[in-house]
Chains A and B, each alone.
Chain A
Amino acid sequence: MDIPTQITLLNRLKNQGAAQDWERFYRIYAGPIFGLARQFGLDPNAAQDVVQETMMSLTKALLTFEYDPAKGKFRGWLWRLVRNKTQEAWRRSKKHQATSLDQTDQGSQIAQINQLQSNDVPADEMLEKAWRLQLVQSGMKILTQTPQISARNLEIFRAVAIEGRDANEVAVQFDTNLNNIKQIRHRMTDRLTEIVAGLQAGTIQALDTV
């Protein structure tokens, strides 16, 4: 799995990128940045601010910095930006308003922020993970809107694969047998995997852009 660095796009942006180049750039990177900020416990509004601030810094940097794609710096560079902006947002929300953090799992968030603050966090790993999660989420949206898949099968898939419910219990709920549940889960997982691979390769277009 590899977040596209889009070297030609970065070069075009540096050399008087047109409006559509900038838009494409923002659309590629906004999702993983937003997802990463959310993973680190920021609420959606604070995460959107991180996207805006990161994009602004990237825009300014791309216009003024010499970028050497051969050295593979871009992802590390992007990661540092996201990390710094997320830390700033987290500190700000902690300082001004503790409630702007989701209340669900404070202990886990603190652990995540500690990990974020650690210099040992492998940049590529974190960013790739965020990118991958973004693709899976986009893939799930496509799956749910595939006309050939029934609402019932989607419900079964959600119950056993996403919510992690017991397959026997789900079989009783949907008045079917365990084997059928397993088949549905297997088929849907394969289809989702196929969609995610297509999104990664650019052969399938995401329904939304973030």
Chain B
Amino acid sequence: MKANPASHSITPEEMTFVGTNAGEHVGLDFEGLFSRLKEISLVLQYLPTIPQAPTLIVLGKQPNEPQAVCPLTETFTVGRGRTCEFRAADDQKMSRQHFQITRAEEDYVVTDLQSSNGTRIAGRPVKIRQHRLTDGDVILAGNQRFLFVRGGSAVD
């Protein structure tokens, strides 16, 4: 299709919007987001079904192949310790109790349990103490990556 400049002249409202920079995303890591979403879409394709409830997916070393799929309980702890809901026994960079995910009303919150090496969220520069999880967040702890999926496939 050939561009036709006469068909859609720029309106004053659109000009004003350009001036506000409201659509700008300076400083946001969109490239990182695209990269994560791309990986997530391939991981979800690998699963037999899309999780219908909030789930933590332990991402594997092999691309697209999840290591474990863990439905989240009210309190879900990850670490090397025996009492953890997900135990990464061989990961020496993981603390015995590394982080915990708890339900807070409609949200899920991840809390670092004063781990030695800290907990991060992919795309965010600093270690977290506590963070409200967004669907698709990837938690980085020890040598592991954990994908948070809120669950459900319907347009809710």
Contact surface of A with B, Cβ cutoff 8 Å = 1, 13, 16-17, 19, 22-23, 26-27, 30-31, 34-35, 38-39, 44-45, 47-49, 51-53, 55-57, 59-61, 63-65, 77, 80-81, 84, 92, 132-134, 136-137, 140, 158, 161-164, 189-190, 192-194, 196-198, 200-204, 209-210
* Bound complex: CA A31 to CA B5 (Å): 22
Known: A56-B135, A56-B136. A193 touches B10 (CB 8 A): yes
Contact surface of B with A, Cβ cutoff 8 Å = 1-10, 12, 14-19, 22-28, 30, 33-34, 37-38, 40-42, 44-45, 50, 107, 132, 134-137, 149-150, 152-156
Chain B nearest Cβ from A205, distance in angstroms: 13
In the complex, which residues of chain A have a beta carbon less than 8 angstroms from the beta carbon of B41?
13, 17, 22, 59, 63
In the complex, which residues of chain B have a beta carbon less than 8 angstroms from the beta carbon of A39?
22
In the complex, which residues of chain B have a beta carbon less than 8 angstroms from the beta carbon of A56?
37, 40, 135-136, 149-150
Do the beta carbons of B40 and A134 come within 8 Å of each other? no
Do the beta carbons of B5 and A190 come within 8 Å of each other? yes
Looking at chain B's contact residues, is the secondary structure mostly helix, strand, loop, or mixed?
loop
Chain A nearest Cβ from B31, distance in angstroms: 8
Do the beta carbons of A164 and B25 come within 8 Å of each other? no
In the complex, which residues of chain A have a beta carbon less than 8 angstroms from the beta carbon of B152?
60
In the complex, which residues of chain B have a beta carbon less than 8 angstroms from the beta carbon of A202?
1
Do the beta carbons of A57 and B155 come within 8 Å of each other? yes
Do the beta carbons of B153 and A60 come within 8 Å of each other? yes
Chain B nearest Cβ from A112, distance in angstroms: 12
Chain B nearest Cβ from A84, distance in angstroms: 7
In the complex, which residues of chain B have a beta carbon less than 8 angstroms from the beta carbon of A55?
37, 136
* Bound complex: CA A63 to CA B153 (Å): 9
Do the beta carbons of B38 and A136 come within 8 Å of each other? no
Do the beta carbons of A189 and B9 come within 8 Å of each other? yes
Do the beta carbons of B5 and A136 come within 8 Å of each other? no
Give me 27 A-to-B residue pairs in the complex whose CB atoms sit less than 8 angstroms apart, sorted by A's number: A16-B45, A22-B37, A30-B33, A48-B25, A48-B30, A51-B30, A52-B137, A53-B150, A56-B40, A56-B135, A57-B135, A59-B41, A77-B155, A81-B155, A92-B107, A136-B10, A137-B17, A137-B18, A158-B19, A162-B18, A164-B16, A189-B9, A193-B6, A194-B3, A194-B5, A209-B34, A210-B25
Chain B nearest Cβ from A19, distance in angstroms: 5
Do the beta carbons of A1 and B8 come within 8 Å of each other? yes
Closest chain B residue to A80 by CB distance? B155
In the complex, which residues of chain B have a beta carbon less than 8 angstroms from the beta carbon of A134?
23
Do the beta carbons of A197 and B27 come within 8 Å of each other? no
* Bound complex: CA A51 to CA B137 (Å): 12
* Bound complex: CA A13 to CA B2 (Å): 28
In the complex, which residues of chain A have a beta carbon less than 8 angstroms from the beta carbon of B2?
201, 203
Closest 9 CB pairs of A and B: A197-B3, A194-B5, A162-B19, A56-B136, A35-B23, A198-B3, A56-B135, A201-B1, A60-B153
Do the beta carbons of B10 and A53 come within 8 Å of each other? no
Q: Which residue in B8, B12, B25 is a CB contact (below 8 Å) of A197?
A: B8
* Bound complex: CA A13 to CA B38 (Å): 11
Chain B nearest Cβ from A22, distance in angstroms: 4
Do the beta carbons of B33 and A52 come within 8 Å of each other? yes
In the complex, which residues of chain B have a beta carbon less than 8 angstroms from the beta carbon of A192?
10
